Amino acid sequence: MDPSPLPQPPRLNRRDFVALASTAAIVATVPGNRAFAAESAETAVSADQFISGKDQRLIVHSTKTGEIETPLELLRQHRVTPKDLLFVRNNQVLPETLTVAPAQSPDWRIELKGLLETPRTVTVQQLSKLPQQDVELVLQCSGNSRSRYEESLKTDGVPWKNGAMGNIVARGVPLAAVIESCGAKVQPTARYLTAEGKDLPLKTGAPDFEHSIPLADALQKSLLVLSLNGEPLPKVHGGPVRLVTPGYYATMNVKWVSALTFSDQESSNYHHVGRYRNPRAPLKLGAPFESTLDNSDPHWNMRIKSVIFAPLEGAKLTAGQVEVSGVAWNDGGSKIVAVEVSLDDGATWRRAELTYPASPYAWHPWKVKVHVPPGNVKLLSRAVDALGNSQPLDGAIHWNPAGYSWNGVDAVRVTAQG
């Protein structure tokens, strides 16, 4: 778990951290501050004012429920993304959770129901006594990099750049072990697991956020997570307990889990059927799309992707040898066999040196030295896995009105002085 850093500029020193932390603490104790934060939205409110303990340099896209992104210059400084830098995406908010402080809730209950021989309830205290597992994994919103679609056609949703993701260490109890320990026998007809959190919709009566995942995957991979990067799970990231399925989009990792339902069908919930799905057949740019269970796929396994961490967009360089570096990942289901970089719009590619992390679900760091000529240069990167999956040169082939699941080649424009 030692965050052996990617080779990057120095991070905040301790004094800065202490200063930041105390600012956040003061802000959080000002009465009525929350209401102020919610009203003034994007412009006035910094991340640490909105969510206590977050770094004030994070990008605040929206304070309606919480959409906060990590700039790449901060994200690239750590192999394991610290809690104060990790992005946040709330569709709904559980009161009192806009903080990185841990939840002290040993009595928190999760109901196990549906196709079980007998329904059961497990508490956080019971979970904390079971053997825990660590998994290093990429936590990525399925809207990450949405702004890249704008090069072809704008989409709905906040314009995330590449920072609606982080690389974290999730520690928790495998779902299969939870089921076994409480003696809940799953009936053979069960095929899906639907997770629901304690948070409620902004408007009363609106559909509550929940998601279904295939039970076979859940039994193999999902954890009921109690800790993040070796510390108790911060409230804002779902503390005290969150369902995490490595290799899946973060969207499916339901925070503040309160119920797990075993069923023979996917949930018909609006957030699971009407949102967070990708069209199965390509759409024409600008075409409307209403997702149903039949015409679309849910945001389960992450598409293969790479992101350039250095140089950053707009960098001014000296022409000549330049090291290009970044990270790559996929759903962990097949080995990433190459990451390649192009300086000629994809006509030719140079292979980067790839480092394999212990966990197949974690960021795979890569780097390569290339010769950058004087002038304006566009650097591209793409990852390829053992099944031949890669990133399309034209990411807009996956265009959809909600701007989900971008995985086009990454592109960074730099200027080199001769």
Interacting residues toward ligand MTE by CB under 6 A: 86-92, 139, 141, 197, 199, 209, 237-238, 250-251, 253-256
Partner whose footprint covers residue 90, from Mo ion, ligand MTE, none (CB < 5 to 8 Å by kind):
ligand MTE
Q: CB-wise, 248 or 349, nearer to ligand MTE?
A: 248
In angstroms, the CA 313 to CA 410 distance is 11
Structure tokens at 213: 């995942």
Quote the distance between the C-alpha of residue 152 and its chain's center: 24
In this complex, which beta carbon is closest to ligand MTE, that of residue 86 or of residue 304?
A: 86
Closer by beta carbon to Mo ion, 141 or else 304? 141
Question: Which residues neighbour 29 within 8 Å (Cβ) at sequence distance 6 or greater?
Answer: none
Q: Which is nearer to ligand MTE, 165 or 379 (CB)?
A: 165
Q: How far is the CB of 263 from ligand MTE (least distance, A)?
A: 18
69 binds, among Mo ion, ligand MTE, none (CB under 5 to 8 A by kind): none
Q: Tokens for 344? A: 């000629």
C-beta of 237: minimal distance to Mo ion in Å? 13
Closer to ligand MTE at the Cβ: 139 or 322? 139
> Quick one: which segment of 136-144, 267-275, 323-331, 358-366 binds Mo ion (CB under 5 A)?
136-144
The CB-of-124 to Mo ion minimum distance in angstroms stands at 24
Residue with nearest beta carbon to Mo ion: 141
By a kind-dependent CB cut-off of 5 to 8 A, residue 88 interacts, out of ligand MTE, Mo ion, none, with ligand MTE
User: Shortest Cβ distance from residue 415 to ligand MTE (Å)?
Assistant: 33
Cβ closest to Mo ion, residue 390 vs residue 407:
407
The residue type at 122: V
Q: How far is the CB of 363 from ligand MTE (least distance, A)?
A: 15
Phi and psi at residue 285, to the nearest 5° = -55, 130
For position 251 contacting Mo ion by CB under 5 A, the verdict is yes
Closest to Mo ion by CB, 88 or 343 = 88
Nearest to Mo ion of 108, 404 (CB atom): 404
| Cβ(330)–Cβ(303) below 8 Å | yes
Rounded to a whole number of angstroms, the minimum distance from the CB of residue 221 to ligand MTE is: 16
Q: Which residue is nearest to ligand MTE (CB)?
A: 197
Nearer to Mo ion, 141 or 233 (CB): 141
Cα–Cα distance, 71 to 77 (Å, whole number)? 11
Token reading at 301: 């396994």
Q: Which two tokens stand for residue 65?
A: 């429920």
Site for Mo ion in 57-96 (CB under 5 A): 89
Task: Tell me how far, at minimum, the Cβ of 140 lies from Mo ion, in Å.
Answer: 8
| Nearer to Mo ion among residue 146 and residue 382 (C-beta) | 146
Contact partner, 197, from Mo ion, ligand MTE, none, Cβ < 5-8 Å per class: ligand MTE
Q: How far is the CB of 306 from ligand MTE (least distance, A)?
A: 20
**Residue 127's binding partner, choosing from Mo ion, ligand MTE, none, with beta-carbon cut-off 5 to 8 A by kind?**
none
Least CB distance from residue 63 to ligand MTE, whole Å? 14
* Least distance to Mo ion, CB of residue 251, Å: 4
CB burial of 382-396 (b: ≥16 within 10 Å; e: otherwise) equals bbbbeeebbbeeebb
Sites of contact with Mo ion (CB under 5 A): 89, 141, 251
